[in-house]
Structure 1
Amino acid sequence: MPDFTAENPSWVAKLQEMGIHPEWVQLLKDSQLADFSASNERIGVIIQPNCKCLNHVSRLVQANVPVYILWDNPSDFSDTPWFRTRYCPTFEEVKAARLAAYLRKAQQPPSWGDISNASDAANDDSTLVPDDLTMVPDQQPPTPVQQLPMPDQFDSWGGFARSQRRYDSFYNEWDLSEHFDQTTYRNNTNDSPYHNEVGNREVQNAGRDPLAKLLHWRFGYCWDGRSAYTGLPAAPWLDIQKTLTDTMGGISGLQQPAVSTLVTHLTKGVTVPAALWDLNSTNPSALRENLNLNLVVNPKSFNQTTYYFIQSAAPPSPNDPSWHLVVEDPMTALECCRRDLGPSIVDVARVLLLSGKSFATRICPVAPGHVTPSLCRRDPVGLGWRQMGYKGDSRDYAGGIVWCLAINTIEIAQVLSGPLDEVFEYGRAIMDTNGEELWDDALLEDELNLICGVYKVHTQSNQTSDSSWWPKQSVWMTSGLHIGYWSVACETWFQKRLEAIRNGTATLRTAAEWRSSLKFWRATAPFISHSKRAAAAYLLNEPCDLFD
């Protein structure tokens, strides 16, 4: 086919039209058989002068197949002048190549025991008449042969059960692990060996932190139950629960009016009564007077963005990690100040990880000047292309919310050990005005899309749109459920969607459809935005008692 090297060749649609399931078509497309990229190394072919298939050579070259043309006679390929003109070297090019080969050989001592002489080889070549290339280095004694190192003892394939083997069709390799047969993996309803979905989630704090504690840790609520306060008329309690994305959290009847006042003031961007908020400087329990003495939060600007470094207040120790704990959400930074965490930075990172709060483990490069404008390219990955109107089914399902899958498939110790060794090749860096670089691992957009189960679906205008089982990462980050941590509403929504996918009632959605379905309660966005603004002002030693 003319377009066999295209990203979406026509044979893919043809096979789907014939009734072959799109998932199997995609597996074929991603296999070595149909991968014509330069990274898929192939055995080359030698073209002899009597070859009857010269018209295929251009396609072999296009498919990145190494092509070697045997041309040792001036009359070779004389019957096909078009081929001779396009591919065969001129006589002068042949002569120059032989001269270069002779020079390389003349500059190296002959192998021990080689009785041939470079000048003899030159005299045998009628096309090469060197002018002053007469000096040949003296022979040298042999270099002692070093014993090659013994290979490491590799794990035995037979030592792993079928449930402990996972085939990665995108990278064409097998992964072996005893953890694969634990409850954190669950094959889809058709027992496909190619995709696994999150099953029995056993995360300690996902959506389980009590709302009463979250109100204090995240939003600074600290009413003592006695002090008087006045404020704006509060919204109904159910509306307050929706704003907090938790309609099941137990708050006593005594505390509900005070919580409603706090949430209403922050939602409207109005100063919170001092008796209710620890960021109000006149509060009896103001945060500045009750800081966590185990930790220090240091704001720094990188790439015109403020990042918050969570640091131990204890003296340096040999057990300290080699990485910096960095968060971008000022509310998360303040939560570390309010909670009884530290002085171990690793323990702080573990708490953030298990509760679904974003953080980075950034390291400095050994040598400066490493920053690149974007991540290095890796082999492309994805779930492929689908015909117009494609709805998907259980056999085609793969993916999920990035954090949910990561927390169930990656060992906690791997995350807390910091960036991978390849971070300076495949990671992403931030840089401050003084040129300081900090690096951490990062995913490419198509890798995030793979996790979220994104397909390219053809439209009527002969273009494509992204349709997915789960919202793309970029859509999730702007949704009404993304409030800085994994809330009860997040967990409830996730489980309902997962169940719908498993029982076959869920369908693929476009990015626009996902944005519409994830708006949720309109008051949540301004509530979170104003809370972040106040937290950032506090950490930067700016007034946070009043809003504009």
Structure 2
Amino acid sequence: MQSSITSGLPTFPKTPYFDGFIQTKVGIFGVHYGDPRFLLDIPLPSEAAAPDGYRFNNEDFRRPLWLDPKFPYLVLLPRFSPFYGPLFSRLNVNEKTVPIVEVTVPGSSFKQFDVRWGLEQKLVDSWLYLESLLRLTLRTMMDLYGSRPAEAVYTFLSPINYCYTERNATSRSNAVKIALRSRDAFLPLMAEIMLMFILLDARDIKDWRGRLKDHTKLNWQWIVDLEQSAVGNMTIDRMGGLMDLTLAKTHLDHHLPRHARWLLPHLLGKHRVPLYFFYGNDLPLKEPIPDALVNLGFVPSQSELDYLHSLDGEVVFSRWSTTGSKWQSHRNGRPPSTTSSIAPAHLQAKGQEPEMPSAPPPPSTPFPDVERDSGQKPGEDIHAFMQRRRLHNEKRAKHESADAKKGRLAREHHASAGAAPGKKGARVFIWEEEGGGFFIRRACNRTNAADRWDEFTDHQRGYDSFSNQWDLCTALAPNEVAEPDIVVDDDDDDFFFHRPAESTDVLPALPDVPGRDVLEGETGERAAQVLEHAYGLSREDLCEDPTRLPGWQPQEIRSIVASRFGSIENSTAPASRRMQDKACGWAIGDETWSVPPDSSLPALLQHILDASDLKAIPANLMDIVSSDSDLDREWNVHVKILKQHERVLYELFPSGSHSSSPSIFLESAAAVLQCLRSGWGNNSDVETIIRNLVKLGVAFYPGWPRPVDYAPLVPPTQPTLGRRHAGYIPTLVDFGVYVERRNSFLRSPRGRVALFYGGIVGRLARLVLSDFEDLACYDPSEENLRSGTRVEGSRGGEIVLWHEQLTENEIDIICGVYTVETGQRSAATEGGQQLKYISWWPTPTAFWSSGLNTGWWNSNCERWFVKRLREMERMSVKLFTYAEWKNKIRYNTLSRKVGTKNDKLCGEYLAAHPHVDR
């Protein structure tokens, strides 16, 4: 059922974005990635003229404007608020939340002091440092480009020109207005830097990011964060703009369509930037059409005009396809494409286009992109989010252990006081309101959370004890106000700003105001300080107490010897074939362990290492060759051998378990027998298997039953830690950002999957996730499962099993992997630089090939882990490549060889056992 807005418009698009031509009462427009609803009421040039670079209104940067060639980069303004993330969240203030303070200044001859108002000094400094780094970045990017972007392209006045550093307003209301005007002045600065990203990449200036780093003293993380923010991330929607192609040379702005033409090849068909080209009604045009449009064939021909005239409606739409070197119309009976060629990622699945319903409702305003790792789904409001979380928590409660429940209730009691969380406290998410009434859930570091805590009433703050998270959102109690509203007068009558003497400066001169010396003297070194504050970094917060690391419980050696190796106690060992005591310690995962004089373990381990098959093992040493073994009795767990893509999987499923319960997949036959020997899974208890395997750090996967037609999903993308220049040396900022990104991901809905990976990935997950045992037992989300892996041939019939899986990028985030240039040239890589990969921790492949690997997380692993953490505390740490890690953690290779041979022998035993299905 169509809304009243689009009734009588039969050709109105059923998609959020539109490419093609439209005809309105004003004339013909060519549209690139346009908003269909905007096209219903396109403003006239007099109604949406671009600002002059000095004065601007509040709405000027929040709607598409008619393009001014002096400021073409305004089309790159983000469609939704860009004031989020580590760099720009400091700008996220409004008339209700901006911190204004009263100050005293020397008075006139009749007064000793005058009262003035201004921005809180801490925020003044924060904005000033951000502005200085942005100006330095822009100036250096222009230097690398070799010129200004094009003739007659200028930079807006800097935010400092709008007086936020002066704190000299005559009223609180004026102080608020000055602060908000200064905040908005950051927007064109951000858009111009975005333009330079596009131009430098297009010109293929070799390694310009590295040169930017070299020419300044900017921290690498600054460049990475800038590129992943609303400034450099071209996957987010942009505001766009309108271009009048009908203006003649005699017009005052005759240069308008010509001087901006240079920008079109960089945007058309490449980026999500709405562009609206006005062709008028008098066609063909008398003025030259931009070459970029002509080359694409995106010019209204006579047949296109005839088609538009034949359509019904006050506004008519003719959809075009914007793929390939020539764009084509769909007017000749071809079905229109359901998405733009550059539609948002959530509208397109890899390798397929989504099907539109036969009679969809008209599109609403596109929902802003949600923040990664926030847990919010696209299009989900806070009430739907909390309802989904409540249902999920009900499932979690069914698997919750007594200790976990006790800890959760204690957290709940502590949170009931309503105070802002302190260090190591709960995570805080603030729901930021975007245009159109949308709220986006964004993580907030604890320093900023404490600063913003009082912006919300008690009813606008909600605590979830299961996830140990606070949600702060005005929509939870929309009628409540934490502080009285401050009325802001938008008139410019009493608004002053510092205008430079010369209007043609590429970077306008700075006024003589407080903070000018900071902007003029910026070298980039301040970036580290800005980032430390942005991420809330301190050594105290980053470093764990090595004596009380969560996620580690020492194993009893006797238990490991019996359950992992099937050692028979009190057996007589052959005297001639014994492994050395030191090698024994490595094989069982503890080099400090002293072998008892009468132990048969050295003989068993040596026989395992030497054996070609089970027949070579003496029957009195190992249970799988003994004639009187408990393994020969009835098992309470079904075991099945599966072959998947040239690898062998073992499926465990406790007898009597419900059909909806998961199976356990293991690649290690020794781990399978360890489960059986330990009695895990008895009494139809699959959770016992999961909990013990997670605690041991064994790699496994819970496989969940789903219908055979269960549709897969493309896994979400995860931005990496970024690229670094040759000679890169990590800093405290780099380490802090890595820890924050790693922990943020591990605490996200997909993070718990790391618990099933064992090794270093599993250990880092257990370090971060305090309730890891319970988390591992929870049912997976359907999104996680659909983006995992399907296991064929398990339960048969119409049921298959799926298990969750991390992407390569997600594993890189956990291990802290960077792409680093070697300083050598290579024609095989983008940018011509030879690359290597270094990391804070070894990647899984490097770890599993090391002498630390026994198949479980052992005492040797933990000692090495603690030592590495202490090196990180002191920042006396080096990051290694894969090859360097292999050499660094090689240790005693007999441990891995014994484990591999034990796996082989256990696999031989299972393959021949009558209780095992195949």
Are positions 1:96 and 2:307 aligned together? yes
> What is the aligned partner in structure 2 of residue 360 from structure 1?
701
1:440 to 779, 784, 803: 803
Alignment of 1:373-384 (within 5 A): 376-384=714-722
State the Cα distance separating 1:262 from its structure 2 match: 0.6
Q: Secondary structure at the match of 2:912?
A: coil
The answer as to whether partners of 1:212 and 1:251 remain within 8 angstroms in 2 is no
The answer as to whether partners of 1:303 and 1:431 remain within 8 angstroms in 2 is no
1:510 counterpart letter in structure 2: T
> What is the aligned partner in structure 2 of residue 328 from structure 1?
667
1:174 counterpart letter in structure 2: A
Alignment of 1:46-65 (within 5 A): 46-49=242-245, 50=247, 51-52=256-257, 53-61=260-268, 62-65=270-273
1:530 to 894, 897, 901: 901
2:275 to 64, 67, 71: 67
Relative to structure 1, the CA distance from residue 393 to residue 246 in structure 2 (aligned partners, 3 Å threshold; closer, same or farther) is same
How many corresponding residue pairs?
479
1:396 to 734, 738, 744: 734
Q: Secondary structure at the match of 1:361?
A: strand
> What is the aligned partner in structure 1 of residue 789 from structure 2?
428
> What is the aligned partner in structure 1 of residue 845 from structure 2?
474
Relative to structure 1, the CA distance from residue 150 to residue 3 in structure 2 (aligned partners, 3 Å threshold; closer, same or farther) is closer
1:82 to 285, 288, 291: 291
Q: Secondary structure at the match of 2:651?
A: strand
Are positions 1:216 and 2:562 aligned together? yes
Q: Deviations over 1:93-121 (max 9, x none)?
A: 23324545669999xxxxxxxxxxxxxxx
> What is the aligned partner in structure 2 of residue 28 from structure 1?
226
> What is the aligned partner in structure 1 of residue 605 from structure 2?
263
Q: Deviations over 1:46-76 (max 9, x none)?
A: 2222434232222233332121212223144
Q: Secondary structure at the match of 2:819?
A: strand
Taking only the aligned residue pairs, the percentage that are identical comes to: 20
The answer as to whether partners of 2:239 and 2:273 remain within 8 angstroms in 1 is yes
Moved more, 484-493 or 243-252: 243-252
> What is the aligned partner in structure 2 of residue 301 from structure 1?
643
Q: Secondary structure at the match of 2:589?
A: coil
1:78 counterpart letter in structure 2: E
State the Cα distance separating 1:406 from its structure 2 match: 1.5
The answer as to whether partners of 1:467 and 1:508 remain within 8 angstroms in 2 is yes
1:420 counterpart letter in structure 2: S
> What is the aligned partner in structure 1 of residue 631 from structure 2?
288
Relative to structure 1, the CA distance from residue 9 to residue 416 in structure 2 (aligned partners, 3 Å threshold; closer, same or farther) is farther
| C-alpha distance in 1 between matches for 2:891 and 2:812 | 23
1:468 counterpart letter in structure 2: S
The answer as to whether partners of 1:394 and 1:504 remain within 8 angstroms in 2 is yes
| C-alpha distance in 2 between matches for 1:458 and 1:250 | 46
> What is the aligned partner in structure 2 of residue 504 from structure 1?
875
Relative to structure 1, the CA distance from residue 491 to residue 419 in structure 2 (aligned partners, 3 Å threshold; closer, same or farther) is same
1:173 to 438, 442, 447: 442
Alignment of 1:452-491 (within 5 A): 452-459=815-822, 460-461=824-825, 462-491=833-862
TM-score by length of 1: 0.77
More helix by share: 2
Q: Secondary structure at the match of 1:70?
A: strand
| C-alpha distance in 2 between matches for 1:60 and 1:150 | 32
State the Cα distance separating 1:203 from its structure 2 match: 7.3
2:765 counterpart letter in structure 1: A
1:253 to 578, 581, 597: 597
Relative to structure 1, the CA distance from residue 177 to residue 492 in structure 2 (aligned partners, 3 Å threshold; closer, same or farther) is farther
Relative to structure 1, the CA distance from residue 453 to residue 93 in structure 2 (aligned partners, 3 Å threshold; closer, same or farther) is same
> What is the aligned partner in structure 2 of residue 45 from structure 1?
241
Which structure 1 segments of 5+ residues have no match?
107-127, 129-148, 183-188, 544-548
> What is the aligned partner in structure 1 of residue 201 from structure 2?
4
Q: Deviations over 1:461-515 (max 9, x none)?
A: 3211001111112222222222211011111111111111111111111111011
| C-alpha distance in 2 between matches for 1:337 and 1:494 | 29
The answer as to whether partners of 2:608 and 2:617 remain within 8 angstroms in 1 is yes
| C-alpha distance in 2 between matches for 1:269 and 1:388 | 48
State the Cα distance separating 1:394 from its structure 2 match: 2.3
| C-alpha distance in 1 between matches for 2:291 and 2:714 | 40
Which structure 2 segments of 5+ residues have no match?
1-195, 248-255, 318-330, 332-379, 387-414, 431-439, 445-462, 471-530, 743-759, 826-832
2:643 counterpart letter in structure 1: S
> What is the aligned partner in structure 2 of residue 14 from structure 1?
211
> What is the aligned partner in structure 2 of residue 408 from structure 1?
767
The answer as to whether partners of 2:790 and 2:800 remain within 8 angstroms in 1 is yes
> What is the aligned partner in structure 2 of residue 118 from structure 1?
none
The answer as to whether partners of 1:370 and 1:424 remain within 8 angstroms in 2 is no
CA RMSD of aligned residues (A): 3.8
> What is the aligned partner in structure 2 of residue 244 from structure 1?
588
Alignment of 1:181-196 (within 5 A): 193=535
| C-alpha distance in 2 between matches for 1:48 and 1:30 | 33
Are positions 1:161 and 2:421 aligned together? yes
| C-alpha distance in 2 between matches for 1:383 and 1:7 | 23
> What is the aligned partner in structure 1 of residue 620 from structure 2?
275
1:520 to 891, 903, 908: 891
State the Cα distance separating 1:198 from its structure 2 match: 7.4
2:900 counterpart letter in structure 1: S
State the Cα distance separating 1:458 from its structure 2 match: 0.5
| C-alpha distance in 1 between matches for 2:650 and 2:800 | 15
Relative to structure 1, the CA distance from residue 536 to residue 512 in structure 2 (aligned partners, 3 Å threshold; closer, same or farther) is same
> What is the aligned partner in structure 2 of residue 451 from structure 1?
814
| C-alpha distance in 2 between matches for 1:326 and 1:515 | 27
Relative to structure 1, the CA distance from residue 537 to residue 377 in structure 2 (aligned partners, 3 Å threshold; closer, same or farther) is same
The answer as to whether partners of 2:852 and 2:896 remain within 8 angstroms in 1 is no
| C-alpha distance in 1 between matches for 2:595 and 2:861 | 19
State the Cα distance separating 1:190 from its structure 2 match: 5.9
2:690 counterpart letter in structure 1: A
| C-alpha distance in 2 between matches for 1:6 and 1:218 | 60
Q: Secondary structure at the match of 1:93?
A: helix
> What is the aligned partner in structure 2 of residue 137 from structure 1?
none
Relative to structure 1, the CA distance from residue 90 to residue 222 in structure 2 (aligned partners, 3 Å threshold; closer, same or farther) is same
Q: Secondary structure at the match of 1:422?
A: helix
| C-alpha distance in 1 between matches for 2:591 and 2:429 | 42
Q: Secondary structure at the match of 2:623?
A: coil
2:262 counterpart letter in structure 1: N
| C-alpha distance in 2 between matches for 1:240 and 1:431 | 39
Q: Secondary structure at the match of 1:363?
A: strand
The answer as to whether partners of 1:307 and 1:327 remain within 8 angstroms in 2 is yes
| C-alpha distance in 2 between matches for 1:288 and 1:542 | 10
Q: Secondary structure at the match of 2:791?
A: strand
State the Cα distance separating 1:152 from its structure 2 match: 2.1
Q: Deviations over 1:292-336 (max 9, x none)?
A: x433322233334322222222x345xx75322222211111011
2:443 counterpart letter in structure 1: W
| C-alpha distance in 1 between matches for 2:661 and 2:203 | 44
State the Cα distance separating 1:530 from its structure 2 match: 1.1
Relative to structure 1, the CA distance from residue 204 to residue 332 in structure 2 (aligned partners, 3 Å threshold; closer, same or farther) is farther
State the Cα distance separating 1:213 from its structure 2 match: 0.8
| C-alpha distance in 1 between matches for 2:869 and 2:534 | 17
